[in-house]
Amino acid sequence: MRFGILSTADIALDSFVPGVARTEHEVAAIASRDAERAAAAATAHDIPDAYGSYDALLEADIDAVYNPLPNALHAEWTTRAADAGLHVLCEKPLTRDANEARDVVDYCADRGVTLMEAFMYRYHPRTERVHGLLDAMGDVVSASASFGFPLRGDPADVRLQPGLAGGSLMDVGCYPVNALRTFLGEPDAVTATTYDSRDCGVDTRLAGTFEYEGGASATLRCWFDAPEHQRYRIETTDGWIEATPAFNVPADASAELRYGRDGRTVTETFEPVDQYAREAEHFADCVESGMTPRTDGADALANMRAIDALAEAAATGERVTL
């Protein structure tokens, strides 16, 4: 598969491009609104073609687009890629809200292109192992998930811009939301509180809860103004499971999974794996075979519904049902 990348975003150059380089696929082109920036990125990362506009990239000799643009631009350029007959691997979250996500999912389906949301941690063997453990550990009683880091530097950072759908919930909070949904299912109701520590118009901290009809509950936290930490923990009637760091595991680092069962604690260690490479391979396999991606449009839409509910709960101070 020949990928084209929309923008020179850090996640593209630092993670996705090296990941694809470990596969049989290729990043064939990259675009920026600044032609010199695109050319510099192409030279630095051995990408054959560079373009000074996103429109030009969509006309290039590529099979699919990787879309790491700011959140507010995901929908526009995903649908424009679909118009060009290109499959789309879009960074998370898929869109600004659930209504927009539904439109994008339907649009890509109507044009017969594969759409996948780029939750790379879902393709790590450790995440796959958690599912197997949960099947043997009884009912889930409670869970918690968190992801935060200190966002320093330019106050014009896109993650602090309300017009670009910034905020800690949309940036790193979408990971805990996705993890809780993946392991526990869709919540029946949510509550949340937020804080804007920089008076920038977006949340820089969020704390939320998920409620489930069967009595299980979960908590999630995300932030931009405290030391980095990423973790999830699941408590069941027969044990517990915990992963730290939970989501962004470097390609050259091993990953641990700790769990307790039958009165003993076990630590499993997973050899280094590039989860971005596995993500790209899964996407390409789905395109070739017509298989539905693990993190497909329906999953992305469900994630946006939960994110919308958390945002509404924080804004109104009310419990929001889904």
Cα 212 to its chain centre, rounded Å, is 23
CA distance 173 to 175: 5
Partners of 27 in beta bridges? 3
d(CA 30, CA 32): 7
Tell me how far apart the alpha carbons of residues 313 and 14 are, in angstroms, rounded to a whole number: 35
| Alpha carbon 71 to its chain's center | 11
162 phi and psi angles, rounded to 5 deg: -60, -35
For residues 28 and 61, is the Cβ–Cβ distance under 8 A?
yes
Yes or no: say if 117 and 296 are a contact pair by the CB < 8 Å rule: yes
Residues 6 or more apart whose CB falls under 8 angstroms from that of 40 comprise none
Cβ–Cβ < 8 Å for 129, 268: yes
| Rounded-to-integer distance, Cα 234 and Cα 239, Å | 9
Please identify which of the residues 25, 74, 92, 159 carries the catalytic annotation. 92
Where in the chain does DSSP place strands (E)?
2-6, 26-31, 49-51, 64-67, 87-90, 115-117, 140-148, 189-195, 205-211, 217-223, 229-236, 239-243, 255-261, 264-270, 320-321
Q: DSSP letter at 264?
A: E
Catalytic residue at 92? yes
Residues with active-site annotation: 92
